[in-house]
Structure 1
Amino acid sequence: MSIVIVHGPHTSGCSLPQELQRQLQQQADAAGHTLELRGCGNLPGLVGEVCAARADSAEFVLLDPGELAWQAREHPEAGLVDALDRLDAPYIEVHDVFGAELEHDGVHRAPVATVIINGNIGSGYRIGLSIALRQLRDAHRRDDEKDYGCPVLV
């Protein structure tokens, strides 16, 4: 598996409508990557799914805590920041509301990017996935250069 999207609930209902899921799957497939969607209804579930992404050796994680962002900030003992720190893969935060981003002080690992498109979670996911795919492509290209000792033309 290469990319995992972990998402919490949104007050507007389902954060990932079927059409958006289809578009994201097509976007990942076109780039030669798999995409797994994991929904969570509570903070312990969100933490568990981030831990599971690590155990599953995800190459990249898109994290949309949704309404759980507020709980994660109020309850650091729940372990979301610690789970993100232990995550081997880079991650991108995706939000549909400004001010919902998680807090990252100098001690904790920050996301590669934070995408906030007020009121349009679909665009946020598409942009976040595009960034992740570009990062993975560049990382694979660097790995190929190391293996062959010279730049590889793609």
Structure 2
Amino acid sequence: MAIVMIHGPDNPEGRKPDGNVQAGLSQRAQSAGHALLHYRCATERQLAERLARIDRGQADIILLDPGRCAGDGPLHRSLSHLQVPYIEVHDDSFDRPEPQLPDDAGPRVAVVNGYQAQSYTLAMSMALEKLGCADCENDFNVGT
């Protein structure tokens, strides 16, 4: 199966993971036996449609950066029907926090308020742990 990363419409100051970060995230997912699918949505409608398609069995977990749609009602309605758990990701800086989705917005596992690319790295770690793959990336086991 797959881990799906979705970016909603950007805020003007929004930052997205660069190619090196994206490659690192893909490698971590692959090492754990999962593909990383990445989608960018230019509008809230595209975001809602993408979530509806993913809900049909395409993903194990979603890393969702709602962008400027976090405060809007249509996204909240889409998330209320979502069957796949998701981690809400914000790449805000400490001086400009992004708005978050409401607490009851679908099957959210966690909210990651990071600093630029670090938020995606932390969200990937949380997703792998949620999928039971916390140790999948290690080539050795230190257990007894």
Task: State the TM-score, normalizing by the size of structure 2.
Answer: 0.79
- Higher RCO, 1 vs 2 (CA within 8 Å, ≥6 residues apart): 2
Considering fraction of residues, name the structure with more helix: 1
Q: What amino acid sits opposite 2:59 in the alignment?
A: A
Partner residue, 1:109: 106
Partner residue, 2:4: 4
1:122 to 117, 123, 128: 117
5+ residue gaps, structure 2:
134-142
Q: What amino acid sits opposite 2:126 in the alignment?
A: I
Question: SS of the counterpart of 1:84?
Answer: helix
Is the 8 Å Cα contact of residues 82 and 107 (structure 2) preserved in structure 1?
no
Structure index of larger Rg: 1
Is the 8 Å Cα contact of residues 87 and 108 (structure 2) preserved in structure 1?
yes
Partner residue, 1:57: 58
Q: Distance in 2 between matches of 1:4 and 1:59?
A: 8
The total of aligned residue pairs comes to 129
Relative distance call for 1:13 and 1:92 in structure 2 (3 A) is closer
Root-mean-square deviation over aligned CA pairs: 2.1
Is the 8 Å Cα contact of residues 116 and 124 (structure 1) preserved in structure 2?
yes
Larger mean Cα displacement after TM superposition, 52-61 or 4-13: 4-13
Deviation of the 1:10 alpha carbon: 3.9
Q: How does 1:1-154 map to 2 (within 5 A)?
A: 1-8=1-8, 9-12=10-13, 15-70=16-71, 72=72, 76=73, 78=74, 80-97=75-92, 98-105=97-104, 108-117=105-114, 120-137=115-132
Q: Distance in 2 between matches of 1:17 and 1:96?
A: 12
Deviation of the 1:111 alpha carbon: 1.2
Identity between Structure 1 and Structure 2 (%): 33
Task: State the TM-score, normalizing by the size of structure 1.
Answer: 0.74
Q: What amino acid sits opposite 1:134 in the alignment?
A: E
Deviation of the 1:31 alpha carbon: 1.1
Q: Give a deviation string over 1:81-120, Cα, whole Å, max 9, x none.
A: 2222222211100012334111134xx5351100001xx2
5+ residue gaps, structure 1:
139-152
Question: SS of the counterpart of 1:16?
Answer: coil
